[in-house]
A = this chain, B = another copy of it.
Amino acid sequence: MAAPRRTQQERSASTRARLVDAAFACLLDGGYAATTLGAVQQRAGVARGTLLHHFPTRTALMLGVLDDIAGRRLAVLAAAPSGSAGPADWDALVDLVWDDLRSPAFSAALELWVAARTDAELRAALVPVQERLFGTVHRSVTALVGDADPRVPTLVQFSIDLLTGSRLAGLLEERAGTPAIVERWRRALPLLAAAPDLL
Protein backbone atom coordinates (compact mmCIF):
# COMPACT_ATOMS: atom_id res chain seq x y z
CA MET A 1 0.00 0.00 0.00
CA ALA A 2 1.27 3.44 -0.91
CA ALA A 3 -0.83 5.11 1.76
CA PRO A 4 0.76 4.18 5.06
CA ARG A 5 -1.10 6.70 7.19
CA ARG A 6 -4.38 8.41 6.53
CA THR A 7 -6.64 10.25 8.85
CA GLN A 8 -10.20 9.06 9.18
CA GLN A 9 -11.47 12.06 7.30
CA GLU A 10 -9.18 11.27 4.41
CA ARG A 11 -10.20 7.65 4.31
CA SER A 12 -13.84 8.50 4.51
CA ALA A 13 -13.69 11.25 1.92
CA SER A 14 -11.72 9.07 -0.46
CA THR A 15 -14.17 6.19 -0.25
CA ARG A 16 -17.10 8.53 -0.55
CA ALA A 17 -15.60 10.06 -3.66
CA ARG A 18 -15.00 6.62 -5.14
CA LEU A 19 -18.60 5.70 -4.47
CA VAL A 20 -19.97 8.88 -6.00
CA ASP A 21 -17.75 8.49 -9.04
CA ALA A 22 -18.83 4.90 -9.47
CA ALA A 23 -22.47 5.83 -9.16
CA PHE A 24 -21.98 8.63 -11.65
CA ALA A 25 -20.40 6.21 -14.11
CA CYS A 26 -23.20 3.70 -13.62
CA LEU A 27 -25.75 6.44 -14.18
CA LEU A 28 -23.98 7.45 -17.34
CA ASP A 29 -23.76 4.10 -19.03
CA GLY A 30 -26.65 2.22 -17.53
CA GLY A 31 -29.23 4.82 -16.59
CA TYR A 32 -31.01 5.36 -13.31
CA ALA A 33 -32.58 1.93 -13.03
CA ALA A 34 -29.28 0.15 -13.64
CA THR A 35 -27.54 2.16 -10.96
CA THR A 36 -28.12 -0.49 -8.33
CA LEU A 37 -26.31 -0.83 -5.04
CA GLY A 38 -24.59 -3.94 -6.32
CA ALA A 39 -23.35 -2.31 -9.52
CA VAL A 40 -22.03 0.74 -7.71
CA GLN A 41 -20.46 -1.35 -5.00
CA GLN A 42 -18.68 -3.54 -7.49
CA ARG A 43 -17.53 -0.65 -9.63
CA ALA A 44 -16.15 1.19 -6.63
CA GLY A 45 -14.39 -1.94 -5.38
CA VAL A 46 -16.09 -1.72 -2.02
CA ALA A 47 -18.18 -4.03 0.10
CA ARG A 48 -21.91 -3.74 0.44
CA GLY A 49 -21.77 -2.57 4.01
CA THR A 50 -19.35 0.20 3.13
CA LEU A 51 -21.71 1.67 0.63
CA LEU A 52 -24.63 1.59 3.01
CA HIS A 53 -22.43 3.06 5.71
CA HIS A 54 -21.76 6.19 3.69
CA PHE A 55 -25.15 6.34 2.02
CA PRO A 56 -27.87 4.66 4.08
CA THR A 57 -30.28 4.41 1.14
CA ARG A 58 -30.10 4.34 -2.59
CA THR A 59 -31.75 7.74 -2.79
CA ALA A 60 -29.09 9.16 -0.48
CA LEU A 61 -26.48 7.92 -2.90
CA MET A 62 -28.26 9.61 -5.76
CA LEU A 63 -28.37 12.84 -3.81
CA GLY A 64 -24.65 12.50 -3.29
CA VAL A 65 -24.14 12.24 -7.03
CA LEU A 66 -26.45 15.18 -7.53
CA ASP A 67 -24.43 17.35 -5.17
CA ASP A 68 -21.25 16.33 -6.90
CA ILE A 69 -22.59 17.19 -10.33
CA ALA A 70 -24.01 20.49 -9.16
CA GLY A 71 -20.74 21.34 -7.49
CA ARG A 72 -18.76 20.65 -10.61
CA ARG A 73 -21.07 22.65 -12.85
CA LEU A 74 -20.97 25.55 -10.43
CA ALA A 75 -17.18 25.36 -10.35
CA VAL A 76 -17.03 25.59 -14.12
CA LEU A 77 -19.22 28.64 -14.03
CA ALA A 78 -17.15 30.25 -11.34
CA ALA A 79 -14.04 29.73 -13.44
CA ALA A 80 -15.61 31.42 -16.45
CA PRO A 81 -14.23 34.88 -17.14
CA SER A 82 -16.58 37.44 -15.73
CA GLY A 83 -17.76 40.36 -17.78
CA SER A 84 -14.91 41.92 -19.64
CA ALA A 85 -16.95 45.10 -19.71
CA GLY A 86 -16.50 45.03 -23.45
CA PRO A 87 -19.34 44.59 -25.91
CA ALA A 88 -21.69 41.75 -25.10
CA ASP A 89 -19.84 38.56 -25.83
CA TRP A 90 -22.62 36.36 -27.13
CA ASP A 91 -20.25 33.80 -28.54
CA ALA A 92 -18.78 33.19 -25.12
CA LEU A 93 -22.29 32.72 -23.75
CA VAL A 94 -23.16 30.13 -26.34
CA ASP A 95 -19.85 28.35 -25.81
CA LEU A 96 -20.28 28.23 -22.07
CA VAL A 97 -23.78 26.80 -22.19
CA TRP A 98 -23.16 24.47 -25.08
CA ASP A 99 -20.03 22.99 -23.54
CA ASP A 100 -21.92 22.36 -20.34
CA LEU A 101 -24.74 20.66 -22.17
CA ARG A 102 -22.39 18.35 -23.99
CA SER A 103 -20.58 17.24 -20.87
CA PRO A 104 -21.36 13.83 -19.39
CA ALA A 105 -22.69 15.64 -16.37
CA PHE A 106 -25.69 16.71 -18.38
CA SER A 107 -26.60 13.16 -19.33
CA ALA A 108 -26.30 12.02 -15.75
CA ALA A 109 -28.28 15.00 -14.52
CA LEU A 110 -30.96 14.23 -17.08
CA GLU A 111 -31.30 10.72 -15.67
CA LEU A 112 -31.79 12.09 -12.19
CA TRP A 113 -34.10 14.76 -13.50
CA VAL A 114 -36.44 12.39 -15.27
CA ALA A 115 -36.36 9.99 -12.34
CA ALA A 116 -37.25 12.86 -10.04
CA ARG A 117 -40.44 13.52 -11.94
CA THR A 118 -41.96 10.42 -10.41
CA ASP A 119 -39.92 10.11 -7.22
CA ALA A 120 -41.12 12.49 -4.54
CA GLU A 121 -38.06 12.24 -2.32
CA LEU A 122 -35.66 12.80 -5.16
CA ARG A 123 -37.69 15.69 -6.49
CA ALA A 124 -37.84 17.37 -3.12
CA ALA A 125 -34.06 17.43 -3.07
CA LEU A 126 -33.60 18.23 -6.71
CA VAL A 127 -35.84 21.26 -7.04
CA PRO A 128 -33.81 23.55 -4.76
CA VAL A 129 -30.57 22.46 -6.40
CA GLN A 130 -32.07 23.13 -9.78
CA GLU A 131 -33.16 26.60 -8.80
CA ARG A 132 -29.79 27.41 -7.33
CA LEU A 133 -28.11 26.09 -10.44
CA PHE A 134 -30.40 27.97 -12.79
CA GLY A 135 -29.90 31.14 -10.81
CA THR A 136 -26.14 30.83 -10.83
CA VAL A 137 -25.99 29.96 -14.50
CA HIS A 138 -28.15 32.91 -15.28
CA ARG A 139 -26.14 35.26 -13.12
CA SER A 140 -22.80 33.99 -14.33
CA VAL A 141 -23.80 34.12 -17.93
CA THR A 142 -25.35 37.51 -17.57
CA ALA A 143 -22.11 38.74 -16.08
CA LEU A 144 -20.45 37.55 -19.24
CA VAL A 145 -22.69 39.65 -21.37
CA GLY A 146 -23.39 42.64 -19.21
CA ASP A 147 -26.73 43.64 -17.83
CA ALA A 148 -27.05 47.16 -19.03
CA ASP A 149 -29.82 46.10 -21.38
CA PRO A 150 -33.08 44.83 -19.87
CA ARG A 151 -33.43 42.44 -22.79
CA VAL A 152 -30.32 40.53 -21.78
CA PRO A 153 -32.02 38.13 -19.34
CA THR A 154 -34.55 37.16 -21.97
CA LEU A 155 -31.89 36.50 -24.58
CA VAL A 156 -29.89 34.48 -22.08
CA GLN A 157 -32.94 32.37 -21.34
CA PHE A 158 -33.64 31.98 -25.04
CA SER A 159 -30.13 30.67 -25.52
CA ILE A 160 -30.22 28.27 -22.61
CA ASP A 161 -33.56 26.83 -23.61
CA LEU A 162 -32.77 26.59 -27.30
CA LEU A 163 -29.46 24.88 -26.73
CA THR A 164 -30.99 22.54 -24.16
CA GLY A 165 -33.67 21.49 -26.60
CA SER A 166 -31.10 21.04 -29.30
CA ARG A 167 -29.00 18.87 -27.05
CA LEU A 168 -31.97 16.75 -26.03
CA ALA A 169 -32.86 16.09 -29.64
CA GLY A 170 -29.34 14.83 -30.22
CA LEU A 171 -29.29 12.63 -27.17
CA LEU A 172 -29.88 9.32 -28.89
CA GLU A 173 -28.10 10.07 -32.08
CA GLU A 174 -26.17 13.13 -33.14
CA ARG A 175 -28.54 15.19 -35.21
CA ALA A 176 -26.88 16.17 -38.44
CA GLY A 177 -28.18 19.72 -38.42
CA THR A 178 -27.37 20.60 -34.85
CA PRO A 179 -24.01 22.33 -35.37
CA ALA A 180 -25.57 24.48 -38.07
CA ILE A 181 -28.41 25.45 -35.76
CA VAL A 182 -26.02 26.46 -33.02
CA GLU A 183 -23.98 28.44 -35.50
CA ARG A 184 -27.04 30.23 -36.79
CA TRP A 185 -28.20 31.01 -33.29
CA ARG A 186 -24.83 32.62 -32.72
CA ARG A 187 -25.61 34.96 -35.56
CA ALA A 188 -29.21 35.49 -34.53
CA LEU A 189 -28.33 36.66 -31.05
CA PRO A 190 -26.75 40.01 -31.92
CA LEU A 191 -29.63 40.69 -34.27
CA LEU A 192 -32.12 40.28 -31.47
CA ALA A 193 -29.93 42.25 -29.12
CA ALA A 194 -30.00 45.12 -31.56
CA ALA A 195 -33.70 44.86 -32.32
CA PRO A 196 -35.42 47.93 -30.97
CA ASP A 197 -38.91 46.62 -30.25
CA LEU A 198 -38.25 43.36 -28.46
CA LEU A 199 -39.53 43.64 -24.93
Contact = CB atoms under 8 A, between A and B. Distances in A.
Nearest to A175: B134
Contacts of A157: 177, 181
A46 interface: no
Given A118-B31, A165-B161, A195 B184 contact: no
A168 interface: yes
A117 B126 contact: no
B118 A114 contact: no
Contacts of A33: 32-33, 115
Interface of A: 29-34, 107, 110-111, 113-119, 123, 126-127, 130, 134, 154, 157-158, 160-166, 168-169, 171-173, 177, 181, 184-185, 187-188, 191-192, 195, 197-199
